[in-house]
Structure 1
C-alpha cells in the first residue's frame, strides 16, 4: 500500500501564521509532500489565499483606518457573518494587509510572527510551490456564495492554471465542500484530481434547498459512497469520521475500507497535537493549548491506509514510524 502523503494544512500553520509565504516554505522544509491553500476572490477577481472570505480573523484589517469602515454583516452558506470581506476589496487593497495568527491563544509562538508576512495570491503560492517542489491541494471556499456575486471560483481557477504545467503535471488537486464546483472546474479544462470535502454533519451548501438532497452523513453510507465513486476521485473527511464509538470504546471506523471498495481514495483533516483538537481519550490535562497524546491518535490514523492527511505540523507526522 502506498505511503500516506502529508499535506501542509495552509502551510506549516502550527509554526507560523497560516497561508503565509513563511508557512508554505516551512511546510516544504519540514517534510510535507503538498500544501493546501484555501481560495477566495477579491472584488476584481483575483484569487487570494485565505482561510475564509472574512479577513478580520487572519489579517490586521481592523487596524487599517482606510479599511476599517468596510465592516458589515452578510449571510454566507446560511450563516450570518460579521466582519471584513475579501469580495469587498480590490487586490491592491488586500495587498496592503499583514497576516496574523488565527489561533493566538493556542499558538502564541506563531503569533509572534504577526505582521511579518503579507497576503498571497494563488499565483504567488504556485510560484513558491514550484520553487520548493510542493504539490498543491487547492480548496475552493464558499463556491455558491462567490458565484452568486459574480465571482465564479471555477472560472478564476481555470484562468490561473489552464495552459500552464499545473493543469497537466499531476501536481494539482482541487477540493471543495460543494461537489458542483468540482465538475465545473473539470468542464473548464483543468486537469486535476478532484476531491469532495465532507463535513461531519449538515448538507453541502450547493444542495441546500433540495428536500431530496443527501446529507454528508448519508453520502458516507455504502450507497452514498458508491454514487460518489462514479463522480469524484476521493473524499476528504473530518478526522472524527475515522473513529467509531459504537462499542463504548474508541476504535478505528471502517470508512476508509468502504470508500476504497467504492473506488474512492480517502483524505482526512486536520491532525493537530493540541488537546483542543484531539479525541477526548487522547487529551492530557485540561488546557486546550497543551499537547496531548497526539502520537497515539496519529499512529491510529496512519495505520488506516489513507491517501493523504492534512497536518499543521508536518515534522510531527514525519516522526511517526509510518510517517
Structure 2
C-alpha cells in the first residue's frame, strides 16, 4: 500500500502541476516507476528568501516546485512551527532582542536561544534572517516564523487558485529530544494532518526524519508515507544507525539520502539508487545548491543532470527554478525535440 501511495503522489503532482511539460507525458525516466523526478523546494526557495518563511514557500510554488519542504520543531506551548534547528540565533534576529537576553542558555554544547523556551506568541515577535553566507540579505527582518498549519493553509489556497496538487515533505526535527521534555511532535502532527484531510496513504505528503524510532512509531499509528533520512556511513554498507536498507523498507517508502552517497570517489554510480529501488524505496536526495560546489561535474547543472540520470525520484533544491529548468531541458532532449 505504501508503494502504491507513493506512485499516486508522483502521478498527481506532475500531472496537475507541470502544465504539459514534456517530461510529464510519455517519457520513461530511470526512476523507480519511470516518472519524472520531483523537484522538492528545500525549506522553500531558500536560496532567494529567508528559509522556512511563507515567502520562501510561496516563491517556490510560483516557480513550479512539485513539493515544498518545511522542517518542524515544537514551541513551549506545543505548536509545530517551521525551523531547521531547535536553536534560533542563525535564522532569526533573536540575538538583537534585549527582551530575550535572559533566554540564552547552553544546551547540547551550544550557547543559544531554543525554540522550546519560547511560546508561539513570543516567537511571533522575531523576524527571519538569511542564515547562509554569500546569499542576499535584503529580505531579512521582514517575515515571521510560520506555523505548520499556516503552511498548509497557504498550500490549500494556492491549490485552489491553480487547480493543481502541491505536495509537502515535512521533516520532523529532533523528535526524541522534544518528546523527552513533554513536547512529543507525533500527536501534534497527526492531529493537524487529520484536520487538513492529509491523514491517508494517498495524500500528497511524505513525513521524513533522521530518527528511525520516530518513523517506526508513526508507521504503527498513522497511514502516512514516510522517508528515512540518511547522511551516510563511514564505511560502505548503508547501515543507518542499525537499520540497513531492507529494514528501512519495512516502515518507510523512501530513502532521503545525502547526494554524495550516490557517487563513488571517481564520480561513478555507487549503486545506492539501484539497491533502494530494488527494495521498492524511492530515493530523494539532498541538497542541491546553485551557490555551493557540486559533488560531480563542474556546475550545479552538471550535478543535477548526473542525479537525474541515476534515477533519483526527487531532488531537494534551495533554488528549485534551476532544478526545474534542468529537468525540462533533459526531458526535451529525451523527446528528441
Q: TM-score per shorter chain, which class?
A: 0.7 to 0.9
1:314 aligns with 2:335: no
**In 2, are the aligned partners of 1:10 and 1:312 still within 8 Å (CA)?**
yes
Structure 2 unaligned regions, length at least 5? 1-33, 160-165, 332-337
Q: Aligned pair 1:224/2:244, yes or no? A: yes
**Deviating more after overlay: 230-239 vs 114-123:** 230-239
Q: Is the 8 A contact 1:9 1:36 kept in 2?
A: yes
The structure where strand makes up a greater share of residues is: 1
TM-score of the superposed pair, with normalisation by structure 2? 0.81
CA distance in 2, matches of 1:135, 1:141: 19
Distance, in Å, in 1 between the alignment partners of 2:268 and 2:134 is: 27
- Which residue pairs with 2:94 in the alignment? 61
Residue in 2 that maps onto 1:71: 104
User: Whole-Å Cα distance in 2 between the matches of residues 125 and 57 of structure 1?
Assistant: 21
String of CA shifts for 1:61-112, please: whole Å, max 9, x gaps: 111111122111112xxxx222000000111101111000011x221x2x11
TM-superposition CA deviations, 1:119-149 (whole Å, max 9, x none): 0001011111112232110100011110111
How do residues 45-194 of structure 1 correspond to structure 2 at under 5 angstroms? Answer: 45-75=78-108, 80-103=109-132, 105-107=133-135, 109=136, 111-133=137-159, 134-168=166-200, 170-189=203-222, 191-194=223-226
Please say if 1:195 is aligned against 2:227.
yes
1:261 equivalenced with 2:278 (yes/no): yes
Q: TM-score, normalised by structure 1?
A: 0.84
Aligned to 2:306: 300
Q: 1:194 to 1:216 in 2, by over 3 A?
A: farther
Alpha-carbon distance change, 216 to 43 in structure 1, aligned in 2, over 3 angstroms: farther
Deviations 1:167-214, CA, capped at 9 Å, x for gaps: 23511110000012123223443x321000011247xxxxxxxxxxx9
Kindly tell me: are residues 43 and 215 of structure 1, through their superposed partners in 2, closer, same or farther at Cα, counting changes over 3 Å?
A: farther
2:264 matches 1:244: yes
Supply the distance in 2 between the matched residues of 1:215 and 1:161 (Cα, whole angstroms).
37
Q: Which runs of 5+ in 1 are unaligned?
A: 203-213, 284-292
How far off its partner does 1:294 sit? 1.1
Instruction: Assess, with a 3 A threshold, how the Cα gap between structure 1 residues 187 and 227 changes in structure 2: closer, same or farther.
Output: closer
Match of 1:24 in 2: 57
* Shift, 1:227, TM fit: 2.1
**SS of structure 1 residue aligned to 2:315:** strand
| Greater RCO (Cα-Cα under 8 Å, separation 6 or more) | 2
Take 2:241 and 2:219, find their aligned partners in 1: how far apart are those partners?
23
| Cα shift at 1:259 | 0.6
Moved over 6 A (4+): none
Contact kept, 8 Å, 2:276 with 2:283, in 1: the verdict is: yes
Q: In 1, are the aligned partners of 2:219 and 2:251 still within 8 Å (CA)?
A: no
- Please state how far the C-alpha of 1:163 moved relative to its aligned partner: 3.9
